[in-house]
Amino acid sequence: MSQVPMEHAIVQYLKNLGEKEQQEVLEFARALSQSKPRGVPGQSLLSFAGSIDRKDADLMQQAIDLDCERVSADEW
């Protein structure tokens, strides 16, 4: 989607909102424009490659396989 049609669509939606909702959209847009990406580039993490030995990696994988796919309906 090119920039102009997207801006046009946003303006059309804004026209259908009340003043309070438009203010919320404005605040949200400001927050989005000021947010900075978090994290680090993957390249800087390469020094950690291979730092977990095979036995520990296997134990971690077992824990993930045993517990991460389980859903307990009564926990919510």
User: What's the whole-number mean pLDDT along residues 1-15?
Assistant: 85
What range defines the domain where residue 15 resides? 3-34
Distance, in Å, from the CA atom of 76 to the CA atom of 16, rounded to the nearest integer, reads: 37
User: What's the whole-number mean pLDDT along residues 7-35?
Assistant: 93
22 within domain boundaries: yes
7 within domain boundaries: yes
Reported pTM: 0.44
- State the total domains in the chain: 1
DSSP 34-57: H----S--GGGGGGGTT-S-HHHH
- What pLDDT does residue 8 have? 92
12 within domain boundaries: yes
44 within domain boundaries: no
pLDDT score of 75 more than 80: no
Query: Model confidence at 24, in pLDDT bands (50, 70, 90)?
Result: very high
51 within domain boundaries: no
